[in-house]
A and B are shown apart, each in its own frame.
Chain A
Amino acid sequence: MTHPYIPNAEPGVRAEMLAAIGAASVEDLYAVIPAGLRLDRPLDLPEPMASEHELVAHMRGLLARNTDTTEVLSFLGHGCYPHHVPAVCDEVNGRGEFLTAYAGEPYEDHGRFQAMFEYVSMMAELLEMDVVNVPTYDGYQAAGTAIRMAVRYTGRSKVLLSGAVSADKMSKLRDFLDHDVELVIAPVGAGGEIGDVEIDETFAAIYLETPNVYGVVETRGRELADLAHGVGALLVVSADPISLGVLAPPAAYGADIACGDIQSLGMHQSYGGGHAGYIATRDEERLVAEIPSRLFGIAPTAVPGEYGFGDVFYDRTSFAHREEGKEWVGTAAALWGITAGVYLALMGPEGMRELGETVLARTRYAMDRVADAGARVLHPDAVHFREFAIEVPSSDGLLAALRERGIFGGVRLDDRTLLVCVTERHSKDDIDRLAAAVQEELA
């Protein structure tokens, strides 16, 4: 059978092509690989699914063993968030012209360049910063790179890192930075915000997250920016962009570099597969020079009034200078960027504001209801966005009991602490249902 994916596997055309190049067999073309390196048996792989129907049946059978979050009431967050994905996001994301294109050249792929330019431009408005990169892999990578940018920019090697960062992200940051950056962890204060901060002229930056791992919105941004700038250091802030319809963008309180993840802007949870990272700075040549990823800019063409696009300051990249470039650049997460652009265009300023208000209000409502139900809510006086931590007699016990009732109650932080996530997808009734279940289980 000629495989449906391989047109030239058809024997007649193979013979024609071999004749054209004067080879007796395809085997001849592999003559360059020494016999000792040749695999002398077929690969030991499962039997293939010869027909598309069989493949579908096989995949459906496997995937049916998953319970997805539309089948239960899920309050899971902790870095991957269940925000509503507008249908238009899926429609654009699935267009074959975008989905199957390479990161091509500005002429034949004008549409991609414009869509990416518009994504970074909308992020720039949300962030109030003039320079935003083409997405990097995820928020972890964006944070690691943003910190490295500050280290290179200042020529210093110490960074003060908020302790209110998830353990997984800390693991990534340690692997990425530990060999040449000294990470000093700032304790978490009693209110859930970053605690006491002391830095001096040896520090490259303060790194802050808001909302932080406990869902707490940091309120001392301006103070920390002044502190950092006072000793010649930078303020690097990781902010979830979906909060910025209501929360002040990092630049507004003096951050020099903003970074974060855009999964919340129109990407499905996809078992953690929907992540992409952003990095933003002001338009200062020395800062821009430290961004490793591609930057797309607008440029005139031979026809007046026409917009063209191209790479900005390509000379920074490893594509241009290998190890002499800044970190590295390769295929990352461009289509998630285009999709996030669609999301921001659909939402507009009012949509982003309303969404922020809804999430803020429902988070507070959930905190109050769950506290009434008998759980101890941590940091009750802090402003929370989308997540909050609760203390219960047994994390595992409560989660197991809630599961019996069709509820994924939250993410286990430790034996007694759970993180609960509430978005615009959780109605008042959903929250009441969670609170009632918690009350019965803790009673």
Chain B
Amino acid sequence: MSGHAGESFAELPVAPKPPLRRFHQARWDEPIIFEQSRPGRRGIAVPAAGVPAVELPASVRRAEPPKLPEMSQLHVLRHYVRLSQENLGVDQAIAVGQGTCTMKYSPKVNDRFVNDPKVAELHPLQPDDTVQGVLEVYWRLEKILAEISGMHRVSLQPASGSAAIYANIAMIRAYHASRGEGRQRDQVITTMFSHPSNAACAKTAGYEVITLMPDENGYPDIEALRAAVGPRTAALMITNPEDTGIFNPRIEEFVSLVHGAGGLACYDQANANGILGITRAADAGFDLCHFNLHKTFSTPHACGGPAGGASGVSERLAPFLPGPTVEFDGSRYHLDADRPQSVGKMRPFLGVTPNVVRAYAWVMALGAEGLREVAETAVLNNNYLMHKILSIPGASAPWGEKRLEQVRYSWQGLFEETGVHSEEIGVRAADFGVHYWTSHHPYLVPEPFTLEPTESYSKEDLDEYAAILAHVADEARRDPEHVKGAPYNQTVHKIDQTSLDDPKQWSPTWRAYTRKHLA
């Protein structure tokens, strides 16, 4: 077969395929929305009042119309569709590169349930007997999460994982106050590899924060814990497995040390995906725990939310749960706001209902056996990917090879050899259509990168991801400047970060930008 004008084309079948997938991110050179405005256009009509207008006093009337863009409907839609194309979601990409965030498939059917008017058009203050369906979903998911964690009760009110961490610290504070120890217990102990929100929420709630560093094996230092606990200890807030992917086998000892000093133990289960049905917070003696519905229970990350959180507590903490709670009398569900020791409201109304519905549907599609399959596959995928990554020269994983569902790796070897930083590897990897994350600060693991494959990805996906990193590492050796010059296949080119930290130049809105740079 040949083309026009004597050009030759490859013969069918077109094989072999290129060694790496060829990728190019959409590039629309899409102007900022304000640049597309033309006075007089509009994107939607609103109903005219049809009743007499109200004259506003000058003190409250807006003097000038807001300088919003003026566009027709198609052009608003087209603008946002183009922007969506310049974005990678789980639906397009192998999303194993955002460790600690458990990126997984969000089943499409679950979106249908939440877009149905039977969820989308419910008002949160309707009479209980007109929302029996959604209350039953709350009640059932609460019971399911109680079984998964072993906890006595669960609240689905928190808006996210970090909001649940905050709800837990609020309950810890209320518990100690109820026993007359509120002032005395003013310290919270956490670990360096627990999510920053554990430390930050405790501080916001008024606590002094003590951070345990890892010992030579990567475990939180138990001697440091022994030295830290005492009559001032309000709680231990700990993630297990930590963000390194390391499971602390002495976790029960940690809990009993804290209990011995009169403190509470609070389990951050953001990394629960690899232990569903394997081990439970209550079995290690924890008093409180939380889950992220948007990680472990598959609700979509949505560019950074809406998220969804769940706080689980043991029986002695149950009186302090946020209100209202969902109760069932054997035939009807109702909301109970009459809870005198409750910490009160954590957010408006009952919770992020669309994500509660999605999480419930996800668990119902899997059941006990399916959840265990999720955990086992996540751990198998992680160990398989680790095996492939550690075979790339220059990559390492500090503290041995025992990991559950994720690994914090290091490119320190490659960096010493080539001068290429982990962050630069990540930017170059994006040229092949994947996302990659280093870690939270501070970089205790030098030149870090954190991968968490979850159960959603196939062996072929993991092979492809590892091949991309191997290719980029090889490039770093052959031509480090090429890697440092990335990206090449993205919507935009290398960004000059300097203005973002300079108060004179930073432009957090178009309004600030036009004033500072275009005036």
B residues within 8 A CB of A49?
A: 364-365
How many residues of B are in contact with the other chain, CB < 8 A?
210
Query: In the complex the two chains form, what is the Cα distance from A3 to B101 in whole Å?
Result: 22
B88/A271 in contact, CB under 8 A? no
The answer to whether A436 has its CB under 8 Å from any CB of chain B is no
B89/A39 in contact, CB under 8 A? no
B residues within 8 A CB of A100?
A: 89-91, 106, 300-302
The answer to whether A9 has its CB under 8 Å from any CB of chain B is yes
- Sample of 20 further A-B pairs with CB below 8 A, known A88-B76, A140-B347: A36-B283, A59-B361, A66-B122, A99-B111, A101-B89, A105-B426, A105-B437, A109-B435, A111-B86, A117-B510, A132-B508, A137-B305, A219-B57, A245-B66, A311-B500, A319-B196, A322-B209, A323-B209, A345-B76, A357-B49
* Chain B residues numbered 46-77 whose CB sits less than 8 Å from any CB in chain A: 46-54, 56-57, 59-63, 65-71, 73, 76-77
A17/B137 in contact, CB under 8 A? no
The answer to whether A202 has its CB under 8 Å from any CB of chain B is no
CB A50 to nearest CB in B, in angstroms, measures 8
The answer to whether A112 has its CB under 8 Å from any CB of chain B is yes
Q: Given B109, B124, B202, B495, which contacts A323 in the complex, CB threshold below 8 Å? A: B202
The answer to whether A315 has its CB under 8 Å from any CB of chain B is yes
How many residues of A are in contact with the other chain, CB < 8 A?
204
The answer to whether A312 has its CB under 8 Å from any CB of chain B is yes
Q: Given A105, A138, A174, A179, which contacts B344 in the complex, CB threshold below 8 Å? A: A174
Q: Given B46, B345, B352, B355, which contacts A354 in the complex, CB threshold below 8 Å? A: B46
CB B370 to nearest CB in A, in angstroms, measures 6
B347/A275 in contact, CB under 8 A? yes
A residues within 8 A CB of B380?
A: 8, 14, 17-18, 26, 29
The answer to whether A298 has its CB under 8 Å from any CB of chain B is yes
B84/A130 in contact, CB under 8 A? no
CB A65 to nearest CB in B, in angstroms, measures 4
CB A169 to nearest CB in B, in angstroms, measures 7
The answer to whether B377 has its CB under 8 Å from any CB of chain A is yes
The answer to whether B372 has its CB under 8 Å from any CB of chain A is yes
A118/B166 in contact, CB under 8 A? no
The answer to whether B329 has its CB under 8 Å from any CB of chain A is no
A110/B492 in contact, CB under 8 A? yes
B residues within 8 A CB of A55?
A: 109, 361, 364-365
B109/A52 in contact, CB under 8 A? yes
Q: A268-B120, A270-B119, A357-B49 are in contact. Are A67 and B126 (CB under 8 A)?
A: yes
B residues within 8 A CB of A246?
A: 56, 61-62
Interface segment among A40-48, A228-236, A371-379: the answer is A40-48
Q: List 8 tightest A-B contacts by C-beta distance, closest first.
A: A272-B349, A48-B367, A330-B162, A272-B124, A346-B43, A111-B86, A103-B304, A273-B353
CB A172 to nearest CB in B, in angstroms, measures 4
Chain A to chain B contacts (Cβ below 8 Å), 5 pairs: A88-B73, A300-B496, A301-B496, A329-B197, A348-B68
Q: A39-B277, A101-B89, A362-B49 are in contact. Are A299 and B500 (CB under 8 A)?
A: yes
Query: In the complex the two chains form, what is the Cα distance from A13 to B350 in whole Å?
Result: 42
A residues within 8 A CB of B48?
A: 354, 358
Q: Given A6, A102, A114, which contacts B98 in the complex, CB threshold below 8 Å? A: A102
B203/A323 in contact, CB under 8 A? yes
Q: A34-B249, A125-B68, A269-B123 are in contact. Are A120 and B60 (CB under 8 A)?
A: no
Q: A271-B119, A322-B199 are in contact. Are A334 and B305 (CB under 8 A)?
A: yes
The answer to whether B222 has its CB under 8 Å from any CB of chain A is no
B65/A338 in contact, CB under 8 A? no
B508/A312 in contact, CB under 8 A? yes
Q: Given B404, B434, B455, which contacts A6 in the complex, CB threshold below 8 Å? A: B455
CB A362 to nearest CB in B, in angstroms, measures 6
* Residue of B whose beta carbon sits closest to that of A118: B33
CB B238 to nearest CB in A, in angstroms, measures 14
* Residue of B whose beta carbon sits closest to that of A56: B109
Q: Given B37, B77, B305, which contacts A331 in the complex, CB threshold below 8 Å? A: B305
* Residue of B whose beta carbon sits closest to that of A344: B68
A333/B63 in contact, CB under 8 A? no
A42/B369 in contact, CB under 8 A? yes
Q: Given B136, B200, B487, which contacts A327 in the complex, CB threshold below 8 Å? A: B200
* Residue of B whose beta carbon sits closest to that of A168: B345
Query: In the complex the two chains form, what is the Cα distance from A379 to B186 in whole Å?
Result: 46
B residues within 8 A CB of A303?
A: 492-493
Q: A80-B349, A248-B61 are in contact. Are A302 and B89 (CB under 8 A)?
A: no
CB A235 to nearest CB in B, in angstroms, measures 15
Query: In the complex the two chains form, what is the Cα distance from A110 to B48 in whole Å?
Result: 38
B441/A32 in contact, CB under 8 A? no
A98/B160 in contact, CB under 8 A? no
CB B433 to nearest CB in A, in angstroms, measures 8
* Residue of B whose beta carbon sits closest to that of A104: B435
B residues within 8 A CB of A43?
A: 147-148, 276-277, 368, 371-372
* B 338-364 to A, binary, CB cutoff 8 A, 1 in contact else 0: 000001111111111111110001011
Q: Given A74, A253, A319, A358, which contacts B49 in the complex, CB threshold below 8 Å? A: A358
* Residue of A whose beta carbon sits closest to that of B486: A107
Q: A3-B366, A76-B125 are in contact. Are A111 and B87 (CB under 8 A)?
A: yes
A334/B304 in contact, CB under 8 A? yes
**Interface-centre pick from B111, B170, B304, B434 (highest chain A CB count, 10 A):** B304
CB B423 to nearest CB in A, in angstroms, measures 9
The answer to whether A163 has its CB under 8 Å from any CB of chain B is no
A66/B132 in contact, CB under 8 A? yes
CB B63 to nearest CB in A, in angstroms, measures 7
A residues within 8 A CB of B195?
A: 330
Query: In the complex the two chains form, what is the Cα distance from A96 to B107 in whole Å?
Result: 11
A residues within 8 A CB of B356?
A: 273
The answer to whether B280 has its CB under 8 Å from any CB of chain A is yes
A94/B363 in contact, CB under 8 A? no
CB B140 to nearest CB in A, in angstroms, measures 8
B277/A42 in contact, CB under 8 A? yes
* Residue of B whose beta carbon sits closest to that of A358: B49
The answer to whether B10 has its CB under 8 Å from any CB of chain A is no
A125/B62 in contact, CB under 8 A? no
B residues within 8 A CB of A196?
A: none
B32/A307 in contact, CB under 8 A? yes
Q: A63-B116, A114-B86 are in contact. Are A29 and B247 (CB under 8 A)?
A: no
B residues within 8 A CB of A68?
A: 117-118, 120-122
**Interface-centre pick from A37, A92, A141, A219 (highest chain B CB count, 10 A):** A37
CB A358 to nearest CB in B, in angstroms, measures 4
CB A171 to nearest CB in B, in angstroms, measures 4
A30/B278 in contact, CB under 8 A? yes
Query: In the complex the two chains form, what is the Cα distance from A348 to B25 in whole Å?
Result: 30
Q: A45-B368, A345-B69 are in contact. Are A80 and B123 (CB under 8 A)?
A: yes
**Interface-centre pick from B42, B124, B499 (highest chain A CB count, 10 A):** B124
Q: A70-B117, A115-B83, A172-B346 are in contact. Are A297 and B90 (CB under 8 A)?
A: no
